[in-house]
């Protein structure tokens, strides 16, 4: 639903990858969400669930098979304007920086190309970017090459580079998962501060529920291309309703109490819904309409082979895409 405060709207995004001799792989299936200025939305899911494919579609590195991605402000649809407005931070800062170039070079280029700086003020703008990501003394850092920096410093350079064109939207794809555990929270704290100061619409992609809950107002849980549950972070992570989210939450360290809650929820549902059908198989076809989780789901029923409904659970925006939530026939 279009709103005045949307920075980026994604409607029914679907991405298929062709596979030789078989049906295409549907890596992203009918995903809809909105990013708002000054807000963080977390996209969580295990490896292979399609998170990076969403990010690549939003960065226009790949063309969606279906759906619409629209940036606030009509002029922003021009390719160069879109590229400036939607910036990315990747998992591996070393791979995303050029070993031959200095830090200053990495920042000057996007400043000049995007028009965010002129030749006259590009040095001052470079210094101010380094300052804003706490890379000081700025003059020393500016002269260095990526291999002379620590992993955390490299990721700060990658963040500064993403900020150079003055984006509205920042897509951070597992931005700390390759960094030392000891500096992860610092980098996430930095992204959080920059989001506030610059009113960035931040998409935080992670497999880590604990940091998703801490840094994101809202969470979407993805499983094999589909958003299975979404809503305010505390709702989704502390009171998960979809069996897949319950599984994730019960396995997550630091999600205190969720294991107990998930077990109770499971027991209650089993009692209420009767036992599962034994006849369920792993979906063979990527275009399978049914719930992708049904082969692993302790509650799977016959009708899970049909497209599950997205059910709003309360007034908070918490929704689960699951037949368990549907009104009984
Ligand atoms: P995640 O980031 O959640 O780990 P990805 O988006 O990288 O997941 O991948 C989702 C699925 O799409 C995986 O099954 C992956 O193998 C497949 N995939 C990703 N990129 C391609 C591609 N270019 N061609 C074919 N399959 C791909
Ligand atoms: Mg990924």
C-alpha span between 102 and 143 (Å, rounded)? 6
Predicted local distance difference test score (pLDDT) of residue 286: 61
Pocket of ligand 1 (CB under 6 A): 17, 25, 27, 45, 47-53
Cis amide prior to 137 (ω within 30 degrees): yes
Same domain, 87 and 211: yes
- Which residues constitute the domain of residue 79? 8-228
- Which residue's alpha carbon is nearest to atom 17 within ligand 1? 27
Q: What is the pLDDT of residues 50-85, one digit of tens each?
A: 999 999 999 999 999 999 999 987 655 688 889 999
Q: What is the mean pLDDT of the chain?
A: 89
Q: Which atom of ligand 1 is nearest to the CA of 47?
A: 4
Domain assignment present for residue 1? The answer is: no
C-alpha span between 114 and 110 (Å, rounded)? 6
Q: Give the number of the ligand closest to the Cα of residue 50.
A: 1
| pLDDT class of 101 with cuts at 50, 70, 90 | very high
Domain assignment present for residue 276? The answer is: yes
Which of 228, 253, 282 is the last residue in one of the domains?
Answer: 228
DSSP tally for the chain: helices H, then strands E: 12, 11
Same domain, 258 and 213: no
Examine the pLDDT at 255 and tell me if it is beyond 60: no
Same domain, 288 and 223: no
Q: Which is more confidently placed, 108 or 278?
A: 108
Coil, strand, or helix at residue 255? Answer: coil
Count of domains observed in the chain: 2
Same domain, 189 and 40: yes
Q: What is the pLDDT of residues 176-202, one digit of tens each?
A: 999 999 999 999 999 999 999 999 999
Tokens standing for 286? 């990527």
């Amino acid at each position: 639903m279009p709103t005045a405060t949307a920075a980026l709207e994604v409607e029914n995004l679907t991405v298929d990858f062709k596979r030789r001799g078989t049906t295409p792989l549907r890596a992203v299936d009918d995903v809809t969400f909105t990013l708002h200025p000054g807000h963080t939305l977390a996209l969580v899911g295990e490896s292979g669930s399609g998170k990076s494919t969403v990010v690549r579609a939003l960065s226009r590195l790949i063309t969606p098979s279906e759906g619409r991605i629209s940036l606030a402000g009509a002029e922003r649809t021009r390719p160069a304007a879109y590229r400036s407005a939607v910036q990315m931070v990747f998992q591996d800062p070393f791979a995303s920086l050029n070993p031959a170039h200095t830090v200053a070079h990495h920042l000057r280029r996007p400043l000049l190309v995007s028009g965010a700086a002129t030749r006259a003020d590009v040095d001052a703008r470079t210094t101010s970017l380094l300052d804003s990501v706490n890379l000081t003394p700025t003059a020393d850092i500016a002269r260095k090459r990526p291999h002379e920096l620590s992993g955390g410093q490299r990721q700060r350079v990658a963040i500064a580079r993403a900020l150079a064109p003055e984006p509205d939207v920042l897509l951070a794809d597992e931005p700390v998962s390759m960094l030392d555990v000891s500096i992860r929270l610092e980098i996430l704290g930095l992204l959080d501060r920059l989001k506030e100061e610059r009113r960035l619409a931040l998409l935080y992609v992670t497999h880590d529920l604990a940091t998703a809950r801490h840094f994101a107002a809202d969470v979407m849980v993805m499983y094999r291309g589909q958003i299975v549950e979404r809503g305010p972070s505390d709702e989704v992570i502390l009171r998960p309703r979809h069996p897949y989210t319950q599984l994730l939450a019960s396995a997550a360290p630091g999600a205190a109490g969720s294991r107990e809650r998930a077990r109770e929820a499971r027991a209650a549902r089993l009692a209420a819904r009767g036992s599962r059908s034994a006849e369920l198989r792993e979906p063979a076809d990527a275009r399978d309409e049914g719930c992708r989780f049904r082969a692993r789901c302790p509650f799977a029923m016959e009708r899970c082979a049909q497209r599950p409904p997205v059910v709003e659970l309360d007034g908070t925006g918490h929704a689960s895409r699951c037949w368990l939530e549907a009104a009984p026939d």
